[in-house]
Amino acid sequence: MNTEAVREKVRDGYGKIAESKGCSGVSCCGSSPEAADQLVRHIGYTSEDLAVLPEGTNMGLSCGNPTAIAALQPGEVVLDLGAGGGFDVFIAGRKLGATGRAIGVDMTPEMLAKARRNAAVYREKTGWDNVEFRLGEIEHLPVSDASVDVIISNCVVNLSPDKAQVWCEMARVLKPGGRVAVSDMALLKPLPDSVVAMIEALIGCVAGAVLVEETGRMARQAGLTDIVLTPKADYVNSMTDWNDPLYRQIVEHLPSGARTSDYITSLEVKARKP
């Protein structure tokens, strides 16, 4: 599948998620409100984090908690790649305070519209005008050079058909000394071709994932340093234990006796721009 075809599949899939109530599972295909709440609490979001969210913002699209690993400070400028309905942007905004700014970028018009509607509710709740959302591709960020203190992203970079370019864009927009805190899906070893071919896996943040060491290589080649890669097997094990529909399909395509977590992991990536 060529680059633009992949992008259109992802855009179409997430556009449908934005306009629906999600699916019956808790993976990146979107989730029911109950399953979505279970998921984010399981991966470390607190009641205090969730209290600031407008209703419907949490669609169960997370595979980690980048706002926690970013150690956000009041007054910083934070950029969220693939912001969706604004979930991590609003949580970041609360941590940044009135003097900070959280910017979300998403290529899906339906998600952007949802995020901007949610932003009006967030402003009413907090009294702060410290969040904004921009339409754009993460391979070509609508953000100025050296203008961002922190980049976060939650289960999105793996969806890009040009991940190396995404890492180059991160390096471009970060200020010197700026940092990256990404939660993403990655591979411990290559998936069977039958799994990669499943469009559900593509939309579900799995088929586009690359090996852990490949992620580190791309970050280094973009000029980032202090790179720390931390696999989190618990996320994938939980998806399997909860009998999530996507992960159930993946297991059916694996060799007999193999576990999903033998191949797939949630990955925390921390890095810094010199």
Fold exhibited by the domain 3-272: Rossmann fold (3.40.50)
Per residue in 207-246, pLDDT (tens digit) is 889 999 999 999 999 999 999 999 998 888 888 887 787 8
The structural domains of the chain, with segments of one domain joined by +, span 3-272
CA distances for 266 relative to 101, 126, 156, 218, 263, angstroms: 27, 32, 12, 17, 11
- Averaged over 163-175, what is the pLDDT? 98
Contact criterion met (CB below 8 Å) for 273 and 177: yes
| Position 19 pLDDT exceeds 70 | yes
Please tell me the pTM assigned to this model.
Answer: 0.93
Strand, helix or coil at 85? Answer: coil
36 closest CA partner among 19, 21, 15: 21
Residue 217 or residue 23, greater confidence? 217
What phi, psi does 145 have (nearest 5°)?
-60, 140
Beta-ladder partners of 133: 104
More confident residue, 36 or 45: 45
For 112-160, the pLDDT digits (tens) are: 999 999 999 999 999 999 999 999 999 999 999 999 999 999 999 999 9
Give yes or no for residue 17 having a pLDDT over 70. yes
Q: Are 272 and 179 in contact (CB under 8 A)?
A: yes
Q: 3-state SS of 140-174?
A: ECCCCCCCEEEEEEECCHHHCCCHHHHHHHHHHHE
